[in-house]
Amino acid sequence: MTAFEANAVDFAELPNIDPDNIQPIDIESLVGTNDPRHPPKILVLYGSLRTRSFSKLAAVEASRLLRWYGCDVKMFDPSGLPLPDDADTEHPKVQELRELAQWSEGMLWVSPERHGSMTSIMKAQIDWIPLSLGGVRPTQGKTLALMQVSGGSQSFNTVNQLRILGRWMRMITIPNQSSIPKAFLEFNDDDRMDMSPLYLRLVDVCEELVKFTWLTRGRSEYLTDRYSERIESAEAVSQRVNQKSI
């Protein structure tokens, strides 16, 4: 399968893109002979429930690009997700989120900045994704891209905090990131992002996420293999990573 054959979005849906300069992913330069060739599976999370949520608009904008780059993209709707520890793990929205996290091979997190931090809605989604299920870590070795939107001036507080969380979740967080200040000025009446340097950065983040996902997903098990865990039994690992909450 070539990158163009996998594309599910045409340029009519990407009015700001210059067809002569956007490039499909050169898959052969990133994968090995025995690496998987199916479209990368990307989960997109956003951190606002407002009727016109700019984090959701940015997430949708990015999802279009990720699909053009040949990805299988799914977006989680956080509406109805309970607060962490305010429901059990059998709650339907918790189950949906966890199943999507396990399905994914990479993620994109898009949060508004509120009071200088990510929103509680964004944090709740991350907190419901477990570090481990038995001896299996559902996020370990998966790629992660980060974006934030702000109502005021440029800030990187939220993406920096999300980067710490990505490291804690043992994810491969890409170097590039996007911060969209005064987001209400960047999206038009059709809920599309206008052409600007901020849009170009969003494209860069999506392209880099796809490249890193192709590059690492066939090797993530080896990249995250640890000596300290090789000398433990599976039972010991399970006991250690599933300690009772403090």
Average pLDDT over the chain, rounded to whole?
A: 90
Collect all residues with Cβ–Cβ distance below 8 Å to 205 and sequence separation of at least 6: 62, 108, 145, 146, 147, 174, 176, 177, 178
Task: Report the amino acid identity of residue 67.
Answer: R
Q: Where do the H-state alpha helices sit in the chain?
A: 3-6, 54-68, 92-103, 120-128, 157-168, 197-216, 220-223, 227-230, 234-241
Which pLDDT belongs to residue 4? 38
Tens digit of pLDDT for each residue in 22-74?
999 999 999 988 889 999 999 999 999 999 999 999 999 999 999 999 999 99
Tens digit of pLDDT for each residue in 210-242?
999 999 998 888 888 888 877 866 666 667 666
Tens digit of pLDDT for each residue in 89-105?
999 999 999 999 999 99
Q: Could you give the CA distance from residue 190 to residue 193 in angstroms, rounded to a whole number?
A: 9
Residue 3 has pLDDT above 60, yes or no: no
Q: For the chain, give the percent of residues with pLDDT over 70.
A: 89
Tens digit of pLDDT for each residue in 128-153?
998 876 666 789 999 999 999 999 98
Asked if 65 and 206 count as a contact pair (C-beta separation under 8 A), the reply is yes
Q: Could you give the CA distance from residue 171 to residue 143 in angstroms, rounded to a whole number?
A: 6
Q: For the chain, give the percent of residues with pLDDT over 90.
A: 76
Whether this model's pTM surpasses 0.85: yes
